Structure 1
């Protein structure tokens, strides 16, 4: 599989350095659509801080990907749902770290979560 990021410079605004406008996927034989994943521990208990939430989210995503014999290298799209606009910066830092600097199309949305202790929810699409 080949994943090719696209961020044209003509006719559209430039992306910041932490995401791509689009991802072309060639030769993929399978896709994995991961539902919104929260910062909950193995017992379903929410982390206490934003940093802990983000660490648990990416740990949970890695476990889900591993169950399909994939890694974060297979991620081709990320959508984040943030309870507060102030979470955007830390969320971007955590995403960049989790993806080891690899850029993918991403969207962050500020939304009310279903439970008050869910600070961030992230869904991904992976291809392999």
Structure 2
């Protein structure tokens, strides 16, 4: 399987370590990861955004690991933030997690299901 970035020269550069589109060729399996949130099995939620963001990514990657997949398999990531103030921290942590991997990416500022959650992340991964 090959995941390739689609960044047409006629569009503005995609900033923030993402690509305008993702072409997946030769995929055998697809995983749709439901929105992951910043809580542990016992139901506790960290108070600060950085901890919530790292925990949410941990939970998402744990789902991928269950399918023997990881960051390199991500084709599309959608992040829901509860407030614009978290944009920079979200981008910084996402870039740490993804490294040089650039999936298609959408960020939406919206209400989140639980008031204590500051973000939710869903994804599509392929192999």
TM range (shorter): over 0.9
In the TM superposition, what whole-angstrom CA distance separates every residue of 1:57-110 from its partner, at most 9, and x where no partner exists? 111111101111111111111100000011111111111111113111101000
Structure 1 residue 115: Cα displacement: 1.1
CA-atom RMSD in angstroms: 1.0
Aligned residue pairs: how many?
127
What is residue 4 of structure 2 aligned with on the other side? Answer: 4
Q: What stretches of structure 1 move > 3 A for 4+ residues in a row?
A: none
Distance 1:16 1:78, change over 3 A: same
Gapped runs of 5+ residues in structure 2? none
The 5 Å alignment of 1:62-101 reads 62-101=61-100
* Structure 1 unmatched runs, 5+: none
TM-score (norm 1): 0.95
Work out the CA distance in 2 between the residues paired with 1:94 and 1:127: 22
